[in-house]
Chain A
Amino acid sequence: MLLTVVVLLPVVVAAVLMMLPRLSQRAVAWSWVAAAAVDLALVIWMWIGFDPGRGTSGVVDGLAYDTKVRWIPTVDAAYHVGVDGLSLPLIALTSLLFLAVAIWSQREQDRPRRFAAVFLFLQTTCLGTFAALDLILFFVFFDLSIVGMYFVIAGWGHGNNRRSALKFFLYTFVGSLALLLGFIGLFLGGEERTFDMVRLAARPPLDDSPLLCGLVLLAIGIGLAVKTPLFPFHTWLPDAHTDAPAAGSAILAGVLLKLGTYGFVRIAMPMLPAAWQRWAMVAVVVGVVSVLWGAFVALAQRDAKRMIAYTSVNHMGYVILGLGVAGLVGADPEARTIATVGALVQMVSHGLLTGALFLLTGVLWSRGGTYDFSRWGGLARPAPLFAAALAVAVFGSLGLPGFSSFIAEFQVFTGTIQAAPVAGVIAVTGILVTAGLFLLAVQRLLTGPPLLAVPDAGPVTDDDGSTGSEFGVTADTAPRRAPAAAHAGHGAMDHGAMDHGAMDHGAMDHGAMDHGAMDHGAMDHGAPDDADAQTTTPTTTTPPPPSFPDLRMHEIASIVPLLVLSVVIGLAPVFLLDVIAPAAAAVVELVSR
């Protein structure tokens, strides 16, 4: 029951918000934060009351807070939710990240009520996916998360956001249908026909038919690989990330990607152990390729957000590498368990650090309307807090000891090098590349002479045009932004280059221009933004000297806790490992059947 409340609370609040059109922006923002905070508190309460059990507990036994209500009895689909060591950390991560995003979005001016409602809806879908113990229920939440994220990107993104949103929707929708076909395969293949995850995992279907078993794993694997995303299904990710609002990117990377990897641990591995063993090497190879591909392509990026997006491919590669190792039954069980634990910790760690990184790139966007490395430099001087937070997040992401990612990657490598030495050695080079690219990014952004992006300045945009279509965001929007902002009557001349309100709406106007007469609304946001700009930007002289206001209160409050938690996990991981380790051992044992 408690779990159901945790899952449904956000969507209920979202519905209430939608019912109250007269609510002020402040009230909306605070009720969103309150809802997210209550949800997180309930999850912490659940964590305290959770007994992970000893030995191999989880997946098929030791499920806590479970509720089962029959839904479609003829196919034995039910509303069945519960938590174990696999899902609880991810549920906690989800609640925390959504709270961070709620705090971050305190000052959202663009349709704040709907923004909050969409995110709350998204929170329910993510929590529901992690809590689901029924394949159909899992699919319901999984699919709805796509719908929610589509609206986030299409409604509040920038640049070429509608195209990116559609791309995201189609890729992941195709993936989810492949997933559904796989689920139907599991249902039909089982002795007792059921969609119940626990029973399917306890008695794996299709044991006697390697071909069907492989096909079902292929369908499920493709579905989850698109979501994760793994090479070669990752191509939607950079676009979606670049054009999503910062809050959306943080959720997309921090939570939604985990839905894919979680699906592997929760569904593919325990329910299709024979096929997973047989094809474990494929998972290892795909993992290694994703690690390297993500790292090298990230290295080539000149856009901070795209770079971080590609490092997500890299980090998800470690997860799938660890999970692949879990299926190499010839290897030492101990090593396989270590790799699995590492993969699970990596999910949590990546959520914290990449969530923080995406929020930090949101700071760049809100100050200068661009993510382009060539337009930023020397930010450490004007914005020491930002610099410190970025440095911490970056060092965390590259796997420095003392951070959660070290605990994760260290275990993945320990397991891999014992079980599949070649893959392990190759994957380690991925760490070197990411270390290099993260340091390079820090160097470009924080050191050197101060270079502050001025979105409305003409010469800079000319430079930008030559960077090619890959940086479509800046190249596309910057030239058109100036007239749009001027038109709105509060552009660069009046309130300085840092008027981020004007910029955001400039980007929106760019969208509006594409549809001609269909839309004149964007400009009408001028009035509230004007007020906002005056209160938040210190420089209102003409012409304005470029400046970079440091992190504001709500930005600190949303980013710093994520980094702190990553360090806590890095220094004292026991509270997390105590929960994860039994479940990981259970998964490894189930896969070995």
Chain B
Amino acid sequence: MTGTGAMSGSPTDLLPELLLVLGAAVGLLLGLWTPQHRQGRVRLVALTAALASAAAAVPALLGDDVTVYGGTWVIDEVTGVVRLTVALSTAAVLALSSRSLAGHPRETEAYVLMLLGATGAVALAAAGDMLMLVAAYLVASVPLYALAGFVKDSRGTEATLKYYLMGAFAGVLMLVGLTTLVLATGGSGYAGLTDRLPGAPTSLVAVGAIGLLAGVGFKAGAVPMHFWVPDVIAGTTPAMAAFITTVPKLGAVAAAFRLLEGPLAEPGVDVALVVAVIAALSMTWGNLAAFQQTEVLRLMAYSTVSQVGYLFMAVAVAARTDLAEPALALYLAGYAVTNVGAFAAAAALPQARTLTDWARAARRRPWLVGSLVVVLLGLVGTPPTAVFVGKVTVFAAAADGSFGWLMVLAAVNTVASLFYYLRWFGPAVRMTARPAGTGPAADVLPAPARTAYAAAVGSLLLGAGAGLWLLLVGL
């Protein structure tokens, strides 16, 4: 299918993605020729590739929107936001996973899979054609199956199987959706869909829209495709969990946004309402389930489910208000930095599985606890953190897109979320508040701890510099 808009085929348009793939290839080859204990150099390659990809994404932001390769690949503000956040989140996860992966027999593989997964996430966001969307879905999913089961214990294996089966199922639904929409309109490009869907049979459009949403909803971990999230997150290491809950989500939410902004904007079926309901269910269900959790990673898993709910608010009103796109750009970036920070705090004390263990282990680490407070209050949406700015704009966008009820529900959920985040940082603060204690403090892994500090600072800076961020991405 041919797209409208400026067409070009210059390979440099895809430079950020190429750098990620190149990093994966070079890293894999280098890893093959590197002895086990020296594989840290692969991490450097991967880190360089991720940072270079982020840098390469900047020039494209300054240029005009372009559509390349027959309309299958869209390079606009949304893609730019995802390119930057994905590359930087990947770099952050690479940095925080250094200690937990060092010397691991499959160290190289982990770095390479992360880079490939990141490529898939960007492809999801940039896809301007349903076929590309499905391909991107696979690229973003397959590496993560391997990462989910990286620990190879029984919990991890079970979670991976669950993840894989859910993923295969969602992939099939997506293909059904694709087929139905091709049947309805005779094409798979978004531009053609946008033109022809309003005249297409309603039932076909409905099936197609549900199928596509199921796919991106699975990647994003939104209700009702969220069942894999808690098991996978709790079954893997905090560093992997940080990657799985951050990077693919960024791509998937952006993909959903692009669908709702174009093809599914006015298709004769109220897809926006469906997305609004998904958003409402995700935030509510994630919150309710998080209340009872006693494990750090499970708590965070449900927290990410509820965060997707807020992100999908922007998706629901994608075509209804100009505020949606800045809101998405702010919330995505805020979510990325904050979520990585929370998982980094968990990764800093890898022995502590439960909330009380964590609090006890962090007893003499006021800076780590302080970072945790900033990050978790950030996830609640307390000013002046990045997620606060994201939340305000998302709320405004939802209300402007005549989803006032969704805004009120999101506000109620925000209050509710405070309870379970408090269950994590509350005991931690109380324990550091009493300086003297018995026994030695647990060892803190330095790299994740530094990542947590950086995320806390980054969350505050991004909140204060929200205008600059929007200026950078051209919104």
Output the nearest chain A residue to B412 by Cβ-Cβ distance. Answer: A177
**Are B411 and A177 touching (Cβ within 8 A)?**
yes
Q: CB-CB < 8 A to A520: which residues of B?
A: 434, 436-438
Contact check: which of A77, A139, A518, A522 meets B431 at CB < 8 Å? A518
Q: How far is the CA of A184 from the CA of B395 in the complex (A)?
A: 8
Q: CB-CB < 8 A to A519: which residues of B?
A: 430-431, 434, 437
Output the nearest chain B residue to A136 by Cβ-Cβ distance. Answer: B392
**A477 CB to nearest B CB, Å:** 17
Q: CB-CB < 8 A to B437: which residues of A?
A: 519-521
**B314 CB to nearest A CB, Å:** 13
Question: Is there a chain B Cβ closer than 8 Å to A187's Cβ?
Answer: yes
**A437 CB to nearest B CB, Å:** 35
Chain A, range 8-52, C-beta contacts under 8 Å to B:
none
Question: Is there a chain B Cβ closer than 8 Å to A111's Cβ?
Answer: yes
Q: A75-B323, A173-B418 are in contact. Are A143 and B407 (CB under 8 A)?
A: no
* A-B contact number at CB 8 A: 98
**B37 CB to nearest A CB, Å:** 37
The interface-forming segment of A65-73, A250-258, A306-314, A375-383 is A65-73
Question: Is there a chain A Cβ closer than 8 Å to B396's Cβ?
Answer: yes
Chain B, range 392-422, C-beta contacts under 8 Å to A:
392-393, 395-396, 399-400, 407-408, 411, 414-415, 418, 422
Q: How far is the CA of A515 from the CA of B359 in the complex (A)?
A: 13
**A116 CB to nearest B CB, Å:** 15
Chain B, range 423-465, C-beta contacts under 8 Å to A:
427, 429-431, 433-438, 464
**Are B431 and A111 touching (Cβ within 8 A)?**
no
**A413 CB to nearest B CB, Å:** 38
**Are A72 and B470 touching (Cβ within 8 A)?**
yes
**Are A184 and B399 touching (Cβ within 8 A)?**
yes
The interface-forming segment of B124-132, B240-248, B299-307, B382-390 is B382-390
Q: CB-CB < 8 A to B393: which residues of A?
A: 72, 74-75
Q: How far is the CA of A188 from the CA of B398 in the complex (A)?
A: 11
Question: Is there a chain A Cβ closer than 8 Å to B271's Cβ?
Answer: no
Question: Is there a chain A Cβ closer than 8 Å to B224's Cβ?
Answer: no
Interface size class of B (residues with CB under 8 A): 35 or more
1/0 per residue, CB under 8 A from B, across A60-99: the answer is: 0000000000111111010000000000000000000000
Interface secondary structure of B, over-half rule:
helix
Q: How far is the CA of A174 from the CA of B411 in the complex (A)?
A: 9
Q: A177-B411, A518-B360 are in contact. Are A188 and B434 (CB under 8 A)?
A: no
Q: A139-B383, A155-B433, A522-B434 are in contact. Are A184 and B467 (CB under 8 A)?
A: no
**Are B383 and A140 touching (Cβ within 8 A)?**
yes
1/0 per residue, CB under 8 A from B, across A123-153: the answer is: 0000000000000100111011001000100
Question: Is there a chain A Cβ closer than 8 Å to B173's Cβ?
Answer: no
**Are B475 and A75 touching (Cβ within 8 A)?**
no
**Are B475 and A74 touching (Cβ within 8 A)?**
yes
Interface size class of A (residues with CB under 8 A): 35 or more
Q: How far is the CA of A181 from the CA of B431 in the complex (A)?
A: 35
Q: CB-CB < 8 A to A140: which residues of B?
A: 383-384, 388
Q: How far is the CA of A383 from the CA of B443 in the complex (A)?
A: 53
Question: Is there a chain B Cβ closer than 8 Å to A524's Cβ?
Answer: yes
**A14 CB to nearest B CB, Å:** 13
Chain B, range 317-374, C-beta contacts under 8 Å to A:
323, 326, 330, 356, 359-360
**Are B435 and A72 touching (Cβ within 8 A)?**
no
Question: Is there a chain A Cβ closer than 8 Å to B377's Cβ?
Answer: yes
Output the nearest chain A residue to B437 by Cβ-Cβ distance. Answer: A521
**Are B438 and A75 touching (Cβ within 8 A)?**
no
**Are B377 and A147 touching (Cβ within 8 A)?**
yes
**Are B436 and A524 touching (Cβ within 8 A)?**
yes
What would be 16 A-B contacts, judged by CB atoms less than 8 Å apart? A71-B464, A71-B466, A71-B467, A72-B326, A74-B323, A74-B326, A74-B470, A114-B433, A151-B429, A170-B415, A518-B356, A519-B431, A520-B438, A521-B435, A524-B435, A524-B436
> A interface vs B, CB < 8 Å?
70-75, 77, 111, 114, 136, 139-141, 143-144, 147, 151, 154-155, 162, 166, 169-170, 173-174, 177-178, 180-181, 184-185, 187-188, 512, 515, 518-522, 524
Further 19 A-B residue pairs, CB within 8 A, beyond A136-B383, A144-B384, A521-B434: A71-B464, A71-B466, A72-B330, A72-B393, A74-B393, A74-B470, A74-B475, A77-B392, A140-B384, A147-B377, A170-B415, A180-B395, A181-B407, A181-B408, A184-B395, A187-B396, A515-B430, A518-B359, A520-B436
